[in-house]
Structure 1
Amino acid sequence: MKKIIKLLGGLVILYVFGMTLTYMIPNKSINENVADSMEALNSEKEYPPVNLFDEKATRLDNFTDKIMIDKARGTKESSLTEGMFVNGYPRYWHGYQIFLRPLLIVFNYSVIRQIYGLILVLLIGINFYLYLKKLDVFIAFSFLLSLYFVRIYIFFLSMQFSNVFFVMLLFNIFLLKNSKKNISNKQYFLYFLTIGSLTNFFDLLTVPLVTLGIPLITLIYLNLKKASISSEISVDYLKSILLNSFSWGIGYGLTWLSKWIFASLVLKKNILEDAFRTIIFRTEGYNNIPLNRINMFENNMNTMFNNFYVVLIACVIILTIIILIKKREHIMNRISLNSIYILLLIGYPYIWYTVLAGHSQVHYWFTYRLQIIAVFSLLSFLSYIISSLFNSKNEEMKI
């Protein structure tokens, strides 16, 4: 418990210090690029689609990006107050301002989009390389295919979409680089606690759960590949899933609560009241926006899985089934029953939708991306099965 308090306390202090330092940058040094950026965004629609034939799934969120750039403007208050007030939007930490404000000193939004594109390509490339090096080719391509399902090719055009995926990709790299620990190692609890906190700091409630789901699947797969084949199910995997999910939630929730409390004290305003009103909307909707959970689930699923993507994943499943039938004797002797734990993660997006139903109903055109966890979960399970066959063949050749 002391470790948790120290870790979260230290992180919150860093967040306050970082936001204060960021708003010490003189406004005059960013005003020109802020104005240019707002002009460029105003010339586009608020939610322009990149692909008219996949309109809902490829909408950009220029509306929120304009808010992010507008909130980079400081006020005449102290830098501590500005860092908490964020130009009238104190409910979130707005941690992205730590790199957005410095970038705006030199670049406008058009160049920042290009920088985002470069970072995105590099992070995906490093993840793909580490999956190949540490695991196998099947999980590496499953990772890329999962990103394709969420239309990753448009992300660099929206800061709003990219930030949370940057956090996920960086954490995934960390796990792949530090893959020697057993899944039962308590150190993972602190890792996921930290990443839950960082997610809340940087993200504006897009699809935060991806920073838990994708790395957790990676962690399970890492341990399956290095563990001996077992005909018994180990409870360590289930404990790890529950413990790390809980720790991520604690990090995420307490970091958000700390912002409301700290901002209320600094600004002498009741930020908590505003936050709790918003929570009610995010979970249950408003009277003028009645909640329909069935429609919410349908909209999220239909946006993610149009006809092309349904056919794509069906082909992968059918191909795997054919391989299973033909090579079942080789495969069954090479599979750990603990691989079934990967499939538990399929339900994570739909649990989130159930809890944050109001938010998922209104913003389904980007919350649909949370289902990357379900897709990666399924593809990872299939990858493990197929890779087991190839491992078996390689061992026979060595003999």
Structure 2
Amino acid sequence: MVITDVKRDKGSRRIAAKNSARGVIGKNVAVLIAGFAALQTVLFLLLVAGQAVPDKPIVDNLVKAIDSGTYGPSGLPDRMGGVSDTFTECVVVGTGLGDGSPDDSPWQQAGYMPRISNCEKGVGDLRALAAGDTASQGQYYKYWAGYTAITRPALAMVGLEGLRILSGAMLVSSLIVALIAVAGRLNWWAATALLGPLLLASNVFSTPSTSFSQAISISFIFLSTALAAFGAGRSTTRLIAFTGLGAALFCYVDLLTTPAIPWALASVVAAAVTFGHARNFKQGVLAGVIAAVVWPLAFALTWASRWAIAAMFLGFDKVVEHVAGNVEFRTGGDFGHVSDTFGASTLRNANYWWDRIPTSHIVLILVAAAAVIAIILSVRRNGVSSILMGAVLAAPLLVIPIWYEVLRNHSQIHDFFAYRGIPVGFGIGLFALVVAASIQMKRVEVATVRPHEPEKLVANTKERGDDELHR
């Protein structure tokens, strides 16, 4: 009877533990879903706040920019070996302008998001609006256009030049946050390896003065990376929440520039930080897989929620038709020099980086040399198997060529900024090797214990574990 009662007690405890775990998981899932829904609401309210800024001071300041020659034109050189994205600049500063109807409220305008034309026709549109006339107008609900929560107040108060300064401050600040986040959870060697190739072999630092919209997007790439570092190594719920937040915020401000970059960065950082925290490679890989799934899912759901909001104002059929046409074009639409050959998109971006960015050759040599040093140190510390660990950690860089090939139309047309994925890929590879070299794996120690000294062994083992963690 005693044995039977003990078995029953154990079985009851197991069932209670399982039910408790299910309850915790269910609660966490509910919190994540509710948080995501609340975030979408906040993002839309920020659009409304941006649209509440009066158009007149924005238009007046943009006309001043036209007169001073700082508005457009498209295709200006970035003075760092490539071409600036002034076309998108004109689109961004014109987003939110051109009332669909004088009676439309900021709430309605945020729903369908009015927009004047690009650089070529934008000059005429802005002068017409300044004169009190109507302008050629479109609707830009296929993107969130969350940048208007930043651009419209800035344009109204400090004009286009002031907005460039603000975007530069955002770029530098977010970069510092990302570096500190990664270095704080790992080390400065890893943080430098991760972002160094992008900073030294791309036109990132030219963007505030030549392509401020790109500077804003890159700022949120750095923010997404920092959030992944903050969220990793603690709990799965925290990792999902922080990774998803980074993806949603990037979707909010971006115009489909380089989503593969923050996706890959968040995944590799989540894996590396968890690996460093737990000193368990399997846990690190699992965290990387979770981040690699959560990031695009949160990105896609955030985008879909924007279309759902637009459908409430414009009708479901109209939104679906417009979105489907854009998706079809970006994945395989015919456009001039776009090639359908497999690998053509990756090769074109790699060639752009190699041929147009003057520091690409030197950076590649530095990355190769640093990689060799990291491999040697890694093998000395953790054995030959550490090379495989580095290769597995670097797997998220594959997201970049996959993105190039799936969205071949977009990747080839916009190679003048999509190429940044190439130095980011090298940075991820080097980062993975540095992490593998800098983390001391756990070793199981075998000890002979006398029957009367178990407590002493436990205490000594705990001390060694604490020392390793602090070291």
Instruction: Report how far residue 21 of structure 1 moved.
Output: 2.2
Equivalent in the alignment of 1:64? 88
Moved more, 342-351 or 305-314: 305-314
Instruction: Report how far residue 72 of structure 1 moved.
Output: 3.4
Equivalent in the alignment of 1:298? 347
SS of aligned partner of 1:92:
coil
Q: 1:140 to 1:326 in 2, by over 3 A?
A: closer
Instruction: Report how far residue 97 of structure 1 moved.
Output: 0.2
Instruction: Report how far residue 308 of structure 1 moved.
Output: 4.3
SS of aligned partner of 1:65:
helix
Q: Read off the aligned partner of 1:152 and give its amino acid letter.
A: V
Equivalent in the alignment of 2:64? 36
Matched, 1:252 2:299: yes
Q: 1:72 to 1:335 in 2, by over 3 A?
A: same
How far apart, in 1, do the equivalents of 2:296 and 2:378 lie? 41
How far apart, in 2, do the equivalents of 1:325 and 1:305 lie? 28
Moved more, 281-290 or 252-261: 281-290
Deviations 1:242-273 (A, max 9, x none): 33222222222122222223213213471220
How far apart, in 2, do the equivalents of 1:326 and 1:2 lie? 45
1:24 aligns with one of 25, 35, 52: 52
Matched, 1:262 2:314: no
Instruction: Report how far residue 180 of structure 1 moved.
Output: 5.0
Deviations 1:158-193 (A, max 9, x none): 1221222211222333344555515xx233123222
Matched, 1:282 2:330: yes
Gap runs ≥5 in structure 1: 390-394
Write out aligned runs for 1:279-358 (5 A).
Answer: 279-286=327-334, 291-293=339-341, 294-306=343-355, 308-321=359-372, 324-325=375-376, 328-330=379-381, 332=383, 335=386, 338-358=389-409
How far apart, in 1, do the equivalents of 2:326 and 2:232 lie? 39
Equivalent in the alignment of 1:104? 155
Query: TM-score of the superposition, structure 1-length normalised?
Result: 0.84
Instruction: Report how far residue 323 of structure 1 moved.
Output: 6.5
Q: 1:140 to 1:285 in 2, by over 3 A?
A: same
Equivalent in the alignment of 1:156? 208
Equivalent in the alignment of 2:112? 85
Aligned partners of 1:96 and 1:202 also within 8 Å:
yes
Q: 1:224 to 1:340 in 2, by over 3 A?
A: farther
Aligned partners of 1:345 and 1:373 also within 8 Å:
no
Query: TM-score of the superposition, structure 2-length normalised?
Result: 0.72
How far apart, in 1, do the equivalents of 2:433 and 2:381 lie? 15
How far apart, in 2, do the equivalents of 1:187 and 1:323 lie? 31
Instruction: Report how far residue 81 of structure 1 moved.
Output: 1.8
Gap runs ≥5 in structure 2: 1-28, 115-137, 441-466
Aligned partners of 1:210 and 1:370 also within 8 Å:
yes
Q: 1:299 to 1:2 in 2, by over 3 A?
A: same
Moved over 6 A (4+): none
SS of aligned partner of 1:18:
helix
Q: Read off the aligned partner of 2:91 and give its amino acid letter.
A: I
Deviations 1:4-26 (A, max 9, x none): 54233222222222212221222
Instruction: Report how far residue 40 of structure 1 moved.
Output: 4.8
2:169 aligns with one of 108, 118, 140: 118
SS of aligned partner of 2:419:
helix
The RMSD of aligned alpha carbons is 3.0
How far apart, in 2, do the equivalents of 1:344 and 1:179 lie? 17
Q: 1:178 to 1:336 in 2, by over 3 A?
A: farther
Equivalent in the alignment of 2:123? none
Q: 1:258 to 1:297 in 2, by over 3 A?
A: same
Aligned partners of 2:73 and 2:86 also within 8 Å:
yes
1:171 aligns with one of 216, 224, 240: 224
How far apart, in 2, do the equivalents of 1:59 and 1:223 lie? 38
Instruction: Report how far residue 105 of structure 1 moved.
Output: 1.8
Structure of larger gyration radius: 2
Instruction: Report how far residue 388 of structure 1 moved.
Output: 5.1
Instruction: Report how far residue 386 of structure 1 moved.
Output: 4.5
How far apart, in 2, do the equivalents of 1:238 and 1:386 lie? 16
Instruction: Report how far residue 276 of structure 1 moved.
Output: 0.5
How far apart, in 1, do the equivalents of 2:68 and 2:303 lie? 32
What is the aligned-residue identity percentage?
19
Q: Read off the aligned partner of 1:273 and give its amino acid letter.
A: E
Aligned partners of 2:331 and 2:408 also within 8 Å:
yes
Bigger relative contact order, structure 1 or 2, given CA contacts below 8 A and separation 6+? Answer: 1
How far apart, in 1, do the equivalents of 2:232 and 2:376 lie? 32
How far apart, in 1, do the equivalents of 2:43 and 2:373 lie? 52
Equivalent in the alignment of 1:392? none
1:363 aligns with one of 414, 417, 422: 414
Count of aligned residue pairs for this structure pair: 382
2:199 aligns with one of 140, 147, 154: 147
Q: 1:196 to 1:224 in 2, by over 3 A?
A: same
Matched, 1:7 2:35: yes
Equivalent in the alignment of 2:464? none
How far apart, in 2, do the equivalents of 1:163 and 1:39 lie? 25
Aligned partners of 1:21 and 1:79 also within 8 Å:
yes
